[in-house]
Amino acid sequence: MKFKLLWVLPLIITAWINAYSETKSVMFWGIFNDNAKFKLDDMDKMYGKKPAIVMWYIDWHTGFPGTYCELLNSKGYMPHIVWEAWYDGKLNSIRLADILGGKWDDYIRNWGKAAGEYGKPLMVRWGHEMNGNWYPWSGSQNGNSPETYIKAFQYVHDAVVRAGGTNVIWLWSPNCEGVPAGGWNEAKNYYPGSGYVDWVAVDGYNWGKSQSWSKWESFDEVFSKPLDEIQTYAPGKPIMIGEFGCSSAGGNKASWIKDFFISVKSKYPMLKAWIWFDISKETDWRFETDEESLAAFKAGITDEIYPANAAGLAGLK
């Protein structure tokens, strides 16, 4: 009996190791860069590894970007569209009441039909940062009413699905904190329900000292609270950092990036993807601001938990 057990034990250990390796953590990374379309073939050389996700923004004067989605898919990227409900950059050109009143039905229907004809998985983040006060779809610009936002999210979702866009992976994405602060404006009050959301994303930034009101904050200080809260009102949903970045003002960006990679791997097992907002806008968010920051990023992204393509990402839906 002992002899048989000794003979079987290595097989058991090998099977356990194989099972563990097959279930090891995977975290997908993505990038927003306004020149990303010109860099698709060079990202592995530029950053040390290709991202799995390429994100960009379109508003409602733009039809479904099928050609670009096809291009991304052919190169191994997951398309991630931030679909902003305004027209030609005019902030107040579309209101939630207009959407719910049917004014945009033809546009939404045509968009959903074209998405369905594309046919491959793609991520769509509609109505992001609704608990801020800067977008026309926010609660604070719609009578302090999270309920109106929820109805609009569900309305757009259902219209796209009815038109054939069943391949869309729906992301719901609050800001890391409510602006203005208050119980009514907490992110959980805007959640459209598990039947309407495939992924939960959350946005936030280390603004550093780039603004008169801001301060230098670690990744943990920005995201630990919202990531914990998401698991209470959206249990079981894969979670993504929808957009984030680090200012160069008021601290050491290279050290921040190093700490980010350590923290995100060791403290946030619920996190399955993140997207770096890699442009200079309100401040310089880019990870390639200087040689030290770029080196820190390239070193972090070499970790084996980060795949160099989008294979398996759609399966987390």
- pLDDT, tens digit, 9 for 90 and up, residues 155-206: 999 999 999 999 999 999 999 999 999 999 999 999 999 999 999 999 999 9
**From the centroid of its chain, how far is CA 127?**
13
Beta strand segments in 196-293, E: 199-203, 239-244, 271-277
Please report the domains of the chain, with CATH numbers, ordered by start residue.
Answer: 25-316 (3.20.20.80)
C-alpha distance from residue 103 to each of 97, 171, 268 (Å): 9, 23, 42
Report which DSSP code applies to 179.
Answer: S
214 with 235: CB under 8 angstroms? no
The pTM score is 0.91
When the pLDDT of each residue in the chain is averaged and rounded to a whole number, the result is 92
Other C-beta atoms closer than 10 Å to the C-beta of 150 total: 20
Candidates 276, 284, 260; CA nearest to 210 is 284
pLDDT at 9 over 50: no
Percentage of the residues of the chain whose pLDDT score is greater than 70: 92
Structure tokens at 230: 């998401």
SS3 per-residue string spanning 49-82: CCCCEEEEEEECCCCCCHHHHHHHHHCCCEEEEE
pLDDT in tens, 79-107: 999 999 999 888 889 999 999 999 999 99
pLDDT at 18 over 60: no
pLDDT in tens, 279-303: 999 999 999 999 999 999 999 999 9
